């Protein structure tokens, strides 16, 4: 039985030497989560903007629902997406289950409410401040939304980064719909879970370290964005 420090050293070795399995897993994680965040942004940003700017019946309820969905447990999302794509499910014919496509869909479902809710609150605050000024200057509703998106771009970027962090860190959804199949759907979090349970600590630790580093970089980027906001008098 290797000691913890042996495992740690082996893990570092895997990272430094660019172990093929490790790189494949990290690459798939990034591909799945970045794609999911991109899709979630395409849905969540317009949704957040509409919820912030347009008044329509049921808007309050929809805001409550979107905010509640922010805290959705990943396994529940995984379960719903699993049922949707299972052979007898409504979208079973797509045969997405146990492919990265299903994982992307699951993480998109997970992240969209986060981006929509954060975007809505950012844009609603900004609208409260800008609304009269923009209207006096002759802005129509489209101009208002465009102005809010541009002037809120730093906060919106941090919302996307928060979504990416959540997608990269979740296990439950990708595990259920991806199945953690070696070389097919194995990502960092599912690999860590499996390797740890198998006692293969070096790969688990190596992936853990990479995940931690990615999280650190994400947070550094968020900080950098905030500093840029300051520099642009965006606070």
Which residues here bind other proteins, judged by CB under 8 A? 129-130, 132-139, 143, 147, 151, 232-234
Q: Which pair of structure tokens corresponds to residue 200?
A: 């293969």
215/57 Cα distance (integer angstroms) = 40
Q: Nearest approach, Cβ of 230 to other proteins (angstroms)? A: 10
Q: What is the rounded distance in angstroms from the CA atom of residue 86 to the CA atom of residue 83?
A: 5
Nearer to other proteins, 6 or 143 (CB): 143
The residue (of 6 and 129) whose beta carbon lies closer to other proteins is 129
Alpha-carbon gap, residue 135 to 119, rounded angstroms: 21
Q: Of 71 and 138, which has the nearer Cβ to other proteins? A: 138
Q: How far is the CB of 76 from other proteins (least distance, A)?
A: 38
Instruction: Decide: 149 and 80 in contact? Cβ < 8 Å.
Output: no
CA 120, chain centre distance (Å): 17
Inter-residue contact 84 to 91 (CB < 8 Å): yes
Q: Which is nearer to other proteins, 4 or 233 (CB)?
A: 233
DSSP 128-154: HHHHHHHHHTT--HHHHHHHHHHHTHH
The least distance separating other proteins from the CB of residue 233, rounded to whole angstroms, comes to 3
Contact yes or no for 106/162 (Cβ under 8 A) = no
Select 25 or 52, whichever has its Cβ closest to other proteins.
Answer: 52
CA distance linking residue 223 with residue 225, whole number of Å = 5
Shortest separation between residue 127's beta carbon and other proteins, angstroms: 11
């Amino acid at each position: 039985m290797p000691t913890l420090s042996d495992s740690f050293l082996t893990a570092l070795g895997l990272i430094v030497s660019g172990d093929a399995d490790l790189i494949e897993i990290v690459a798939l994680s990034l591909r799945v989560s970045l794609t999911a965040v991109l899709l979630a942004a395409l849905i969540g940003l317009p949704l957040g903007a509409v919820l912030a700017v347009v008044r329509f019946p049921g808007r309050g309820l929809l805001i409550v629902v979107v905010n509640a969905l922010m805290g959705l447990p990943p396994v529940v999302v995984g379960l719903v997406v699993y049922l949707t794509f299972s052979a007898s499910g409504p979208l079973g014919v797509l045969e997405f289950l146990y492919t990265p496509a299903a994982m992307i869909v699951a993480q998109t479902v997970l992240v969209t409410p986060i981006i929509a809710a954060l975007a809505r609150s950012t844009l609603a605050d900004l609208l409260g401040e800008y609304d009269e000024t923009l209207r006096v200057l002759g802005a129509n509703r489209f101009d208002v939304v465009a102005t809010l998106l541009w002037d809120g771009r730093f906060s919106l970027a941090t919302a996307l980064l928060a979504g990416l962090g959540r997608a990269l860190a979740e296990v439950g959804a990708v595990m259920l719909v991806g199945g953690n199949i070696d070389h097919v759907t194995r990502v960092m979090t599912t690999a860590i879970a499996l390797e740890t349970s198998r006692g293969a600590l070096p790969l688990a630790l190596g992936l853990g370290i990479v995940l931690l580093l990615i999280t650190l970089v994400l947070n550094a980027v968020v900080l950098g964005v905030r500093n840029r906001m300051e520099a642009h008098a965006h606070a």
